[in-house]
Amino acid sequence: MERAVIHLNIADFAVAVETNRSPSLRGRPLIIAPQGSPRAVVYDMSDQAYQEGIRKGMPLTLANRLNRNIPILAPGFNRYEQAMKGLLKESFAFTPLVEYGSSDGHLFLDVTSSGRLFGPSADVAFRLKKTFKSAFNLDPIWSVATSKLVAKVATRLVKPLGEYIVAPGDEEAFLAPLPLHLIPGLTTADLNRLREFNLFSVSEARRLTLEQLKIPFLQKAPLIYDWIRGMDPSPVRAFSETASTLSADHEFSDDTNHAGILRKTLYLMIEQICKRLREKNLHSSGTKLILSYSDGLQSASTAKLSPSTSNDTALFKKCALLLDKAWTRRVRIRHMRLICEKLCPPMVQADLFSPETKETKQAALIRAMDRIRNRFGHAAVQTGLTLTGDTTSS
């Protein structure tokens, strides 16, 4: 039996979250973008602003020139993340197979196996839509199809409001008349290449055989061949709600590309996570750093921690390298997220008569700092690194 995949998409997610906080902005043009940054670009905009010609990724200076009267709000990544958490919680009530974007209002649910419990997939999608609306005042577009690709095309088709059910077996016919730019996975370069061949719609592109597609697209050809036929076997990646991760976030009040401030912030986040790890008597075996830039783009980097650790200094040593690896752009950074994953109990049994090493000294120092902080507060004792610069969070 084919899969039943639901796609829920809250159009202009950031705008929807912000207008829930300030209802007076609803129904009006609105831009979400960082201010005070010379190279800031539009992170999100309302449909009304879109009608005015504002686009995502457009330099804010240009957006201002197009219409100076549109209000601009600074993005609140933490708020978007919180809103996503709420949506996820409701979604998990129907299936553990929920895949979601990073605070972008997109959710995929695989409800193939939960039909016996919750009924037809269209009904589940409809119930979730109603729940999102009543509990969070967020009104998603929804679609039901047999794959993520077809479900995503369906929601793109009805954006900004509506629903679409693509019946199993109807995928090819559904996609046939659509323009190629609606197919997820096709990049601007791919579309330009197809345009060079005068191919604008899915049905036109289908006339090419796989061999013909291989000439311009090489290894990507088989993928494109399948996509335009509605074939997408990629699974809805399960996310375990109880996944063993700990995370810390920091949003800079002023976007920054000051290395000192970034390193200091990173260290503070590490202190925060490691303290929680030590309280739970856990170690982390993996870590991930996600940087969100002023323009809304993100970059990430991951590393294994071997041996696993809950030591601030050891983790910082790894994460400082991660920061260098993830920080690939000159654009200022708005938000930083550190995730420690694969949590496990400390594996090594301490030796009875272990010699004093640098590591044991560090561990003892951190234990002493923990005791002082527990008694007198976090600011009672600080490392030198965290004393420089300003990391005021918003």
Using CB under 8 A as the criterion, which residues of the chain lie in contact with other proteins when the complex forms? Answer: 1-2, 4, 112, 115-120, 122-123, 125-126, 146, 162-165, 167-170, 173-174, 177
What are the residues whose beta carbons fall under 8 Å from the beta carbon of 22, sequence distance 6 or more? 73
Closest to other proteins by CB, 129 vs 332, is 129
DSSP code of residue 294: T
Q: Among residues 116 and 330, whose Cβ is nearest to other proteins?
A: 116
**Rounded least distance, CB 2 to other proteins, Å:** 5
Which residue type is seen at 338? L
β-pairing verdict for 245-256 and 163-165: unpaired
Q: Which of 296, 270, 266 is nearest to 284 (CA)?
A: 270
Residue number with CB closer to other proteins (58 or 176): 176
Rounded Cα gap, residues 344 and 363, in angstroms: 18
Q: For residue 235, give the nearest of 94, 106, 108 by alpha carbon.
A: 108
Whether the upstream peptide bond of residue 75 has omega within 30° of 0, thus cis, is no
Distances (CA, A) of 262 to 15, 142, 379: 28, 39, 19
> What six digits make up the tokens of 291?
């940087």
Q: Which is nearer to other proteins, 167 or 215 (CB)?
A: 167
When the beta carbons of 114 and 308 are compared against other proteins, the nearer one is 114
Q: Which is nearer to other proteins, 1 or 350 (CB)?
A: 1
Contacts of 279 (CB under 8 A, 6+ apart): none
**Closest separation in Å from C-beta 150 to other proteins:** 12
What residues pair up with 287 in beta bridges, in sequence order? 303, 340
Rounded to a whole number of angstroms, the minimum distance from the CB of residue 169 to other proteins is 3
Q: Residue 157 Cβ, how far from other proteins at the closest point, in Å?
A: 10
Least Cβ distance, residue 242 to other proteins (angstroms): 25
CA–CA gap between residue 3 and residue 145 (Å, rounded): 8
Q: How far is the CB of 109 from other proteins (least distance, A)?
A: 15
Helices (H) and strands (E) in the chain, counts: 15, 12
Give min distance, CB of 193 to other proteins, in A.
29
Nearer to other proteins, 133 or 280 (CB): 133
Q: What angle do CA 21, 22, 25 make, to 5 degrees?
A: 140
The dihedral formed by the CA atoms of 363, 364, 365 and 369, expressed in degrees to the nearest 10: 100
**What 3-state DSSP class applies to 155?**
helix
- Identify which of residues 120 and 184 has a Cβ nearer to other proteins in the complex: 120
Tell me the C-alpha distance between 387 and 103, whole Å: 32
Q: State the nearest-atom distance from the C-beta of 120 to other proteins, in Å.
A: 7
